[in-house]
Amino acid sequence: MDAKERIARRVALEVGEGMLVNLGIGLPSLVANYLPAHVHVYFQAENGVIGLGARPPEGMEDRDLTDAGGGFVTAVPGAASIDSAMSFGLIRGGHLDMTVLGGLQVDERGYLANWMVPGKMVPGMGGAMDLVAGAKTVIVAMVHAAKGSPKIVPECTLPLTALRRVSLIVTEMCVIEPTEAGLVLRELAEGVTVEDVRAATSAALILEGEPKVMPLA
C-alpha cells in the first residue's frame, strides 16, 4: 500500500463508536474509507453538515452537498444540515470528539502549522484554527517528509495554526505522541527502524521502551 493509505488506515483505528468527527481535506478525508463496518461515526463538516457519507458515483453529484473543501459528498440517513454558526459553535464549544488534519510542520512542543506558506496565495485559515483549539482530540495525518525535508521539526518556521499541543502524529513511518516532555515515539511501521525515523526527523524524539509495531487493521 502507498504512504497515504497506510496513514489513513492507522488513523481509522483511533475513531470510536458514536464519535462526532471532522476530517480535513486531502489525506485526512481518506480515513473514512477504512473504518470498520461495525463502527458508526458522525462526520461533520465546517460548512454545516453532520452525517457526511462517501463521495457519490460519477454523475450523481449534488452541487449543494459538499464538504468544507468543496468536494462532493453524500449524506447518510439521519444527516442534518445546519448553519455555519451552529457548526462552529459545536467546534468552539468543545463538542467535537476528534478532528484529523493534514500538516506542513509539527514541532517539539506538539504545535501544528498547516494553513499557509508565506509568499503563496491561500484562501484563508478556514476552520483549522477552531478545530485545533476546540476538538477534544487532534490527530495530524501527514507524510513524514516533504521533498526530502523533515516536517517534524524543533520549532515551526511556518505560521502556527493554534497554540495547543496536538494529540497524535501519524505518518507512514511511525506514530508519535506529543507530551509535556516532548515527542514520544510510540509505534513504528513494519520494516522501519528507530534510526530510519531519526534520520527523517529533525526534532528530538523520546523513547520510552521499545516502540510497538504500527497496526493497520
Quote the cell numbers at residue 192. Answer: 522501519
Identify whether 14 is a catalytic site residue: no
Q: What does the pLDDT profile of the chain (217 residues) look like in tens digits?
A: 899 999 999 999 999 999 999 999 889 999 998 998 888 999 999 889 999 888 899 999 999 898 888 889 899 889 999 998 999 999 999 999 999 999 999 999 999 999 998 888 777 777 899 999 999 999 999 999 999 999 999 999 999 999 999 999 999 999 999 999 999 999 999 999 999 999 999 999 999 999 999 999 9
Query: What distance in Å separates the CA atoms of residue 4 and residue 2, rounded to the nearest whole number?
Result: 6
Query: How confident is the model at residue 125, as a pLDDT?
Result: 74
Cβ–Cβ under 8 Å, residues 100 and 170: no
Query: How confident is the model at residue 208, as a pLDDT?
Result: 96
E strand or H helix that includes residue 20: strand 20-23
Q: Which residues pair with 140 in a beta bridge?
A: 101, 169
Cβ–Cβ under 8 Å, residues 156 and 105: yes
Query: How confident is the model at residue 103, as a pLDDT?
Result: 97
Query: How confident is the model at residue 38, as a pLDDT?
Result: 86
| Alpha carbon 70 to its chain's center | 18
Catalytic-role residue among 46, 108, 172, 177: 46
List the Cα angle 105/199/115 in 5-degree steps: 10
Query: What distance in Å separates the CA atoms of residue 183 and residue 161, rounded to the nearest whole number?
Result: 18
For the chain, what is the radius of gyration of the CA atoms? 17
Helices (H), the chain: 3-12, 84-92, 128-134, 194-199
